[in-house]
Amino acid sequence: MTPEARIATAAELLERILAGQPVERELTGWARRSRFAGSKDRQAIRDLVFDALRRKRSLAALGGGETGRGLMIGLIRDAGGDPDAVFTGQGYAPSPITDPERAGSRPPAEGGEALDLPDWLVPALQVALGPGLEAAALAMRHRAPVHLRVNVRKIARDQCIATLSSEGIDTRPHPLCDTALEVVSGARQIAGSQAYRAGLVELQDAASQAVSASIPLFNGLKVLDFCAGGGGKALALAARADVQMTCHDIDAGRMKDIPARADRAGVRIRLAETKALEQLGSFDIVLCDAPCSGSGTWRRSPEGKWSLTPERLADLNAIQSAILDEAARLVVPGGRLVYVTCSLLRAENEDRIAGFLAAHPGWSQGLTRRIGLDEGADGFFLCHLQKP
């Protein structure tokens, strides 16, 4: 495909995404229908769509409207290019820029538009991040780095760097966590690499790794990952010590890949559905990686930035508090509950902890940490709570 044809395709897909179609469904549906497109075309179109969604508001201003075409015109202008040279209508290029599109083009207004944030979220993020708001918003306009977790049960970090390099994947240590590597080049080779297949590495953001690393562990501890999802954090915990690791998720289907991932990593993890959890007694450590807005990971899933509403946030807050209450019952006296979100918002973090402590006398708050996008990883919040 020519660069112009890729832009025309991205504009069409964005038009449907802006109308409410899910991003992944649009991208995979198009790839299936378009046998003529090679893997480089698919990747380029994916990148265009995600770049546009990360900067939807500012690009719509620059491109003369919040349409698929407008976002692509804005993207070209923002990069210093000439959209008229692309929108020629020749071959598979998009049709020429219309008068209304031209007339609608303007620089983004200060505030939410220039920061590429919904207006209603700017004050909440201002409260949470203070002077760091602008840097965080600007970081969210760019692609996230690719990080790997070294499975220290199988290989030391330095040796892993050399092994990956021999397969064309260049990495360097990430300062946030001593299991974390940042991929410098060769990211597309990871999934097919021998190192990955042998369980030497997992794809996992450095902040997510730092969350697991914050939890003190020793052999024999009984640990529950209450909101396990695909098991990323449970695998990281199980790699560090011979703990009795149990994974639970309200949606058991989300845990379906955990057994294969655990086998590959050489660790043992038991799965428990909600009904079975009651029979397992209490746990020394319960990790709650709660469902949240994902605002710390909006670089990876930018559609979340635009779909979050105050009502949805309030619903999430109620779910987060209910999860904390439920999980607290599963902790042994003197044990630890670790609350985690990948959110930047106080409503999902400090406010939930304050509510929990007010409702649970005797519990005490331990290590509490925000990991910011300025640390070169996703945004995360973690808080250790000690049961009396």
Ligand X SMILES: C[S@@+](CC[C@H](N)C(=O)[O-])C[C@H]1O[C@@H](n2cnc3c(N)ncnc32)[C@H](O)[C@@H]1O
Which residues of the shown chain bind ligand X in the complex (CB under 6 A)? Answer: 226-233, 249-251, 254, 289, 291, 319, 323
Cβ density class 343-352: b for 16+ within 10 Å, e for less: bbbbbbbeeb
Q: What are phi and psi of 145, to 5 degrees?
A: -70, 160
Query: In 3-state terms, what secondary structure has residue 303?
Result: helix
Strands 380-386 and 283-289: unpaired
Greatest CA separation found in the chain? 72
Asked if 70 and 55 touch (Cβ cutoff 8 Å), the reply is no
Q: One of 177, 288, 342, 383 is an active-site residue; which one?
A: 342
Asked if 288 and 226 touch (Cβ cutoff 8 Å), the reply is yes
The answer on whether 289 is annotated among ligand-binding residues is: yes
The answer on whether 351 is annotated among ligand-binding residues is: no
Query: In 3-state terms, what secondary structure has residue 242?
Result: coil
Q: Which is nearer to ligand X, 240 or 254 (CB)?
A: 254
**One-letter amino acid for residue 338 of the chain:** V
Q: Provide CB contacts within 8 A for 302, sequence distance 6+.
A: 50, 53, 54, 56, 140
CB of 236 to ligand X, least distance (A): 8
271: which strand partners? 247
CB of 94 to ligand X, least distance (A): 38
CB of 351 to ligand X, least distance (A): 18
Q: Provide CB contacts within 8 A for 184, sequence distance 6+.
A: 170, 171, 172
Q: Which is nearer to ligand X, 117 or 258 (CB)?
A: 258
Q: Which is nearer to ligand X, 233 or 336 (CB)?
A: 233
Q: Provide CB contacts within 8 A for 127, sequence distance 6+.
A: 346
Record the tokens describing residue 94, joined without a space.
Answer: 């998009």
CB of 327 to ligand X, least distance (A): 8
For residue 219, count CB atoms less than 10 angstroms from its CB and return exposed for 0-12, middle for 13-18, buried for 19 or more: exposed
Q: Which is nearer to ligand X, 113 or 348 (CB)?
A: 348
CB of 20 to ligand X, least distance (A): 23
48: which strand partners? none
201: which strand partners? 150
Asked if 56 and 74 touch (Cβ cutoff 8 Å), the reply is no
Asked if 222 and 284 touch (Cβ cutoff 8 Å), the reply is yes
Residue 46 CB coordination number (10 Å): 18
Give the gyration radius of the chain's Cα atoms: 23
CB of 279 to ligand X, least distance (A): 17
342 carries an active-site annotation: yes
**One-letter amino acid for residue 216 of the chain:** P
CB of 381 to ligand X, least distance (A): 12
Q: Which residues are annotated as a binding site?
A: 249, 289
What residues are labeled active site? 342
- Sequence ranges of the binding site for S-adenosyl-L-methionine: 249, 289
